[in-house]
């Protein structure tokens, strides 16, 4: 199935077959309510993949409404200073990904949980850039249903096929929009705190690959002798709509193509990846079934059209580089037996967002609805007030609630 974006920007033109069909499914196995007779929210949501093999839902072509940078000390900058330019390598480049690991590496402290803070800073500085077409007067202050990180949505998309890692997503409604922020699971915390030396080094390899093929300026060349600093990031902010859900989310972007006649962002962006070289049919099958699912979901969501992958050997030498157009990934996997399907991912995400909307009714930034999912289980939730899970900061609530914030 090819990548499907709906390019028409008028609300009236929603293709009926693509609309949010949760109403038709309220009695089926996807939702379980403890009180079937009452009109109340379901208490759980099934992640069983067979339930989501329906038509591909409407997903609007994502539009970039802004961007921001995080500098070498992880400070928010309301500009594109960290945007880099893709410099195409040779087919067999021989890059050494281990180079500089012990001497030229500044590692971000991943025990610091930033929540949605950078996205919220972008919102406060760029309220006027958020597109509010199709809005009714009574709708939310921002004119969107959900605000989140792209990475959180990627986890939701891949859920029907995930067998290893669960997730926890905190949701709060504030001035009509639902904000979704990830909470680290206990298993993820243990993993992070017990990573082996090799796992730590292999995480560096991905950033090192970027350094070999990214230039700081449109006319520049890569500088593999420089410092790799994983605090630095360039992020796009996009708006789109999945069925009835208006989304505003941000995601990190590795680089853009140099060509001046390239399509506008996000159509000019390139995602960079590394992966172990593929030597056996089993390895190819695993690459298609597991890795390509995550790669596709991550790039399809913000509308990034191509993924450039460096295939490396056991010692961290890049032996081949291959480009995967995001829209062609689903054709690549369709001969794989019992493989993942983009339509299942998107329908599950649509239903999850509908489930969140049905649950998160009270507009209060101090109230957190914590959604939890573990492999082979259903999505459940619990409600917490004034707890450790509260994530919308006082500075954001105050600024958004002040009189000047109520109009653009």
Domain boundaries, the chain: 45-84+100-257+335-401
The neighbour count for residue 203, using CB atoms within 10 Å, is 13
* pLDDT < 70 stretches in the chain: 1-3, 8-29, 32-40, 133-138, 404-408
pLDDT score recorded for residue 42: 85
The phi and psi torsions of 396 (rounded to 5 degrees) equal: -75, -45
pLDDT of residue 32: 63
Could you tell me how far CA 73 lies from the centroid of its own chain?
Answer: 23
* pLDDT value at residue 122: 98
Tell me the Cα Rg of the chain.
Answer: 21
Q: What is the pLDDT of residue 6?
A: 81
User: Facing residues of 296 across strands?
Assistant: none
Strand-pair category, 44-45 with 31-32 = antiparallel
User: Encoding tokens for residue 373?
Assistant: 């999912």
């Amino acid at each position: 199935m090819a990548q499907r974006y709906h390019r028409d920007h008028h609300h009236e033109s929603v293709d009926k077959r693509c609309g949010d069909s949760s109403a038709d499914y309220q009695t089926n196995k996807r939702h379980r309510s403890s009180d079937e007779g009452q009109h109340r929210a379901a208490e759980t949501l099934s992640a069983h993949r067979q339930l989501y093999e329906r038509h591909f839902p409407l997903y609007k072509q994502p539009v970039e409404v802004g961007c921001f940078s995080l500098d070498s000390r992880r400070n928010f900058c309301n500009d594109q200073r960290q945007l880099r330019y893709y410099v195409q390598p040779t087919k067999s480049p021989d890059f050494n990904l281990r180079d500089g690991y012990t001497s030229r590496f500044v590692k971000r402290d991943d025990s610091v949980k930033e929540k949605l803070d950078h996205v919220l800073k972008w919102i406060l500085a760029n309220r006027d850039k958020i597109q509010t077409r199709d809005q009714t007067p009574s709708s939310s202050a921002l004119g969107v249903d959900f605000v989140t990180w792209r990475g959180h949505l990627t986890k939701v998309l891949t859920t029907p096929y995930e067998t290893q890692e669960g997730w926890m997503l905190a949701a709060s409604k504030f001035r009509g929009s639902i904000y979704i922020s990830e909470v680290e699971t206990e298993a993820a915390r243990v993993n992070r705190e017990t990573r082996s030396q090799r796992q730590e080094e292999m995480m560096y390899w991905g950033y090192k690959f970027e350094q070999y093929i990214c230039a700081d300026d449109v006319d520049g060349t890569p500088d593999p002798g420089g410092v790799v600093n994983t605090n630095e990031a360039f992020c796009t902010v996009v708006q789109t709509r999945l069925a009835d859900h208006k989304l505003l989310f941000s995601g990190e972007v590795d680089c853009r193509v140099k060509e001046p006649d390239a399509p506008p962002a996000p159509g000019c962006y390139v995602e960079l990846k590394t992966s172990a070289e593929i030597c056996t049919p089993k390895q190819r099958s695993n690459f298609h079934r597991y890795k390509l699912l995550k790669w596709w979901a991550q790039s399809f969501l913000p509308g990034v059209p191509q993924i450039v992958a460096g295939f490396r050997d056991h010692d961290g030498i890049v032996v081949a580089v291959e480009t995967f157009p995001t829209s062609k990934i689903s054709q690549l996997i369709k001969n794989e037996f019992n493989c993942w399907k983009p339509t299942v991912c998107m329908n599950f995400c649509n239903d999850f967002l509908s489930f969140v909307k049905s649950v998160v009714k009270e507009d209060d930034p101090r109230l957190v609805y914590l959604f939890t999912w573990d492999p082979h289980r259903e999505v459940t939730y619990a409600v917490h007030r004034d707890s450790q899970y509260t994530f919308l900061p006082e500075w954001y609530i105050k600024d958004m609630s002040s009189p000047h914030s109520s109009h653009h």
